[in-house]
Structures are given as C-alpha cells and as structure tokens.
C-alpha cells in the first residue's frame, strides 16, 4: 500500500475532481481547470508531492486576488519555421505551458526540431508533465523554467537572485514509460521543504541554510533562508544557465525582476519557460532509435550491482512504477495539506473530499 504518513489516502479521480472544482470556482474555464487539476494530481501520483496538491491553495489565492489571469489567451508574438515566442497573458503556467508545447509539437511534426520560449506566464508545476507531451508523440521533449521565487544565492554571494530553475528531458521508450530526467538545480526542490514545513518534519542538513547561511534541518527556518545548489558551484552554474535559457529568449523576469509567488499579489510574475521537441526521425530511423534505447536500458539494468541493491532504475522509472501503484491504491495526502484542502473547499463551497 502507498504510505499515507499521518494523512488519508484518496482516490486520484476524486482528488482530481476536487481540484478541478476549486479552479472553476476561482474563475477558470472547465477545460483549463481540468488541465491544471490533472497536472497537480499527476505529480502526486508520481511521488512528486512538492508540485502536487500542496500547491492548490496558493494557486487558488493568486487566481482569486487577480495575480494570475484565470481566462488567459496565449498568443504567438513572433515565429519562424522551427521557433516561436509565446506571450502567456499572465495565465496559469500549466495552461500556458501546455499551449506552448502544442505549438512546438505542431512544428516538430513537420520534421524538424522546434523551440518555443514563453514570457508572461506563472509557476508551471512539474516539468516532466510537459516533456511527456513529446514522448507520447514518439519525440524527445525538453521543458525548462525559471522559479517563481528567488531563494538561491549566486555562488559566493549573500543575496538571493536565483531560483532552483528545474528542467526535464523525456526520451520515449517502446512499450515502456519514457526515460524521464526531471530535476531542480538545488539539492532539493523548495516545494519539498514546503511540504516538510507543513508536516512538521525535519529536512536533511544539506538541503538548505537559514537566513544567516547556517545549514538547518528545520524546514520553517529553511524557508526563511536559501536552498543549497546541487554540487556547489556546479549547481549554481546550472541553475543560472537554466534561468537564462528560460528568460533571455522571451523577455521574462530574471534576477531582481522576479517577484515572490507567495507574497507579491500585486504584480504579474512574468515567469519564463523554454520548450523543445526533437523529432527522432529527423536524426534516426525510429525503429533503430528504439532498439538502441532498449539495448542501453538493458545494459544499465544488467550492470553488476553494489551490495544491497536489488534493481538499477532508469531516470523516471521509480516515478512511473509508483504512479501505477497509486492509481490502484490511492494518493497519500499529508494531514496538514489535507486540512488546507478542506478549509479551501469549505470557503469556496466545493463538495468536500471523502
């Protein structure tokens, strides 16, 4: 069974319906509300609680207070055969990102790689969700975004000017879930620290430092401080590069231009993304690609294992296996998160989760 911790285990379809109803109550059209709800619950199904329903209350608040546009109409500002720049009309990042990814897919289906940059968007949730758009079409997908909060200092600095700027790369596999790299450029995503703070559980000492730069296991103190970059200066360079790719090709906010997702409701965030779709057939025969991917996967899984290791996984494989289990067993929701969802539903008049 899935581990519920101190909270309930909920049916994924019922949880999705609740999220969809919340989004509709705060002004989103039915189709877009369903899209955002799917994104959140898919993250929880895959065990990525940092980008799951824990985000529903802040999304709803931003929509209610006019910080995000619930009925955004994205548009293309400029384009070539293989590129486009999209203005998201300050819409929900999931809606804008899905729209932009469809633009990239449409271009890639003509047989050449496509790149689409985005400005005037918002936090888009789990990056893998967008890369999977491409893998379902037997193409390679890339999704990059800048964070909605500056909570990482430049290496050697004492002022937060960077987010953890996650990215995902998905590669299709024949008859199996895609190989999916989905990672933040910090040791841990800030969302994981948010979840720990809500649950009142400690975090590992290498995840973050407090406001004085001292490593801490207290999640609440960590939220007042800074996340730690993955691999020290290499993680700083990686998050900087992802941030620049997400913004410099679109005019999205970077550095001191970035506002705070949880605190600033007066100004649009102007979050930037960059999406790419690589059609495999532009580079290699599809059957040859799949055969080589199968060989590579078999070699990795068949490698001599270290003591105590039962199985070697590909990136994204654990998440895919967990998703299959949770579709049958249900999605665990932490008690503190459940309390927030119940309060949100009561306030908006959404039928309660049971």
Please report where in the chains the tokens 């989905």 appear, as a residue. 182
Q: Which two tokens stand for residue 210?
A: 């407090």
| Residues 122 and 272 sit within 8 Å (Cβ to Cβ) | no
DSSP state for residue 162 in the 8-state scheme: B
136: Cα within 13 Å, side-chain hemisphere: 9
123, 151, 260, 273: which one is catalytic? 123
DSSP state for residue 269 in the 8-state scheme: -
| Residues 208 and 227 sit within 8 Å (Cβ to Cβ) | yes
Distance, CA of 67 to CA of 311 (rounded, Å):
46
Distance, CA of 329 to CA of 299 (rounded, Å):
32
* Alpha-carbon distances of 102 from 85, 96, 130, 275, 309, rounded to whole Å: 13, 10, 10, 10, 40
Sheet of 139-145, strands arranged across: 75-79, 83-87, 114-121, 271-279, 139-145, 167-173, 176-183
Distance, CA of 139 to CA of 343 (rounded, Å):
42
Q: Which two tokens stand for residue 56?
A: 């529903």
Q: Which residues contact 265 (CB under 8 A, 6 or more apart)?
A: 61, 62, 65, 66, 67
Strand partners, 85: 78, 117
Question: Active site includes 273?
Answer: no
Please report where in the chains the tokens 């879930």 appear, as a residue. 177
| Residues 184 and 40 sit within 8 Å (Cβ to Cβ) | no
343: Cα within 13 Å, side-chain hemisphere: 11
Neighbours of 258 (CB within 10 A): 25
Tell which residue, 75, 21, 63, 43, has the closest CA to residue 192.
43
Catalytic residues: 123
């Amino acid at each position: 069974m899935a581990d519920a911790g101190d909270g309930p285990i909920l049916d994924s379809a019922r949880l999705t319906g609740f999220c969809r109803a919340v989004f509709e109550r705060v002004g989103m059209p039915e189709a877009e509300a369903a899209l955002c709800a799917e994104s959140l619950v898919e993250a929880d199904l895959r065990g990525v609680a940092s980008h799951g329903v824990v985000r529903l209350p802040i999304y709803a608040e931003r929509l209610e207070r006019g910080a995000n546009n619930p009925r955004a109409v994205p548009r293309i500002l400029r384009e070539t055969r293989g590129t486009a720049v999209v203005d998201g009309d300050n819409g929900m990042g999931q809606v804008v990102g899905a729209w932009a990814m469809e633009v990239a897919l449409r271009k890639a289906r003509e047989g050449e790689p496509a790149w689409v940059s985005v400005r005037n968007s918002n936090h888009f949730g789990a990056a893998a969700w967008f890369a999977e758009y491409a893998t379902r079409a037997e193409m390679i997908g890339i999704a990059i975004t800048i964070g909605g909060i500056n909570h990482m200092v430049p290496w050697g600095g004492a002022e937060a000017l960077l987010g953890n700027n996650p990215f995902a790369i998905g590669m299709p596999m024949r008859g199996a879930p895609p190989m999916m790299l989905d990672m933040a450029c910090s040791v841990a995503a800030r969302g994981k620290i948010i979840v720990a703070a809500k649950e009142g559980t400690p975090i590992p000492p290498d995840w973050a430092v407090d406001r004085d730069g001292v490593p801490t296991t207290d999640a609440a103190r960590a939220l007042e401080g800074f996340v730690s970059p993955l691999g020290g200066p290499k993680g700083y360079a990686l998050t900087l590069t992802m941030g620049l790719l997400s913004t410099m090709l679109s005019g999205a906010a970077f550095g001191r231009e970035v506002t705070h997702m949880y605190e600033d409701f007066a100004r649009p965030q102007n979050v930037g993304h960059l999406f790419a779709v690589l059609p495999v057939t532009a580079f290699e025969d599809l059957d040859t690609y799949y055969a080589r991917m199968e060989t590579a996967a078999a070699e990795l899984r068949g490698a001599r294992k270290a003591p105590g290791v039962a199985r070697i996984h590909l990136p994204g494989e654990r998440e895919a296996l967990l998703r299959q289990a949770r579709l049958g067993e249900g999605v665990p929701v932490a008690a503190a998160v459940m309390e927030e969802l119940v309060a949100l539903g009561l306030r908006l008049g959404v039928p309660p989760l049971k």
